[in-house]
Chain A
């Protein structure tokens, strides 16, 4: 069974631009969650989608948004990029109660 895949793996953008990251969950998983990982703040929950609906949301500004498609693939978008948005963005998918499977992440660098 293929794992969670994220594309692209690396991305370089400049301040003010916007970016879209993609996540393909494990086949059959309907929940997709996104996390931001930085050296200073650690791992922080962004949002979770289940059956195309946002089910939970973390404490991030509205510049961070996401969506989920009918095939459970998910995208997250960050508009008006800031230097502080440089991070590893991790996606996780889940089917069972109590376990999330993480992808390798997308490393975003904002210059």
Chain B
């Protein structure tokens, strides 16, 4: 079945450091891929998405490229801030995202120190 594997944290970085959170997936067909972020005590917020191979999703300085050949969707940011501290989830959907059944990775907790 479909699955998502992402690097488990916690990840601790200093402010302005480069961030990479790895995410790989297993899926039949052509899934859509997502990164969600969860701040303490809150629900999930969509950070970025890509719906087909070679698409690059980007938002708030974060970006990820849908790589079908390596089945990956790694999240990157060139310079993290303290306010980026949160839990990041990689997810896929085989039904176009709006039809429920998002499949999530386990989440990666990021802590950014000043």
Partner of B98, one of A35, A95, A104, A105: A95
B96 touches A42 (CB 8 A): no
Expressed in whole angstroms, the Cα–Cα distance for A58 and B100 within the complex equals 10
B42 touches A104 (CB 8 A): yes
Q: Does B32 contact A (CB under 8 A)?
A: yes
Expressed in whole angstroms, the Cα–Cα distance for A90 and B42 within the complex equals 10
Interface residues of A in 69-111 (CB under 8 A from B): 90, 92, 94-105
Using known A-B contacts A90-B43, A105-B43, determine if residue A48 contacts B49 with beta carbons closer than 8 Å: no
Number of A-B residue pairs, CB cutoff 8 Å, is: 73
Q: Does B18 contact A (CB under 8 A)?
A: no
How many chain B residues touch A (CB < 8 A): the figure is: 26
Minimum Cβ distance to chain B for residue A79 (Å): 22
Query: Main SS of chain B's interface residues?
Result: loop
Smallest CB-CB separation from A33: which chain B residue?
B100
- Of B20-28, B69-77, B101-109, the segment with at least 4 beta carbons within 8 Å of chain A is B101-109
Partner of A31, one of B41, B99, B103, B106: B99
B100 touches A47 (CB 8 A): yes
Q: Does A4 contact B (CB under 8 A)?
A: yes
Which residues of B come within 8 Å of A, CB atoms?
Answer: 32, 36, 41-46, 49, 51, 89, 91, 93, 95-107
| Pairs across A and B, CB under 8 Å, 6 listed | A33-B101, A45-B103, A47-B100, A48-B100, A50-B99, A97-B98
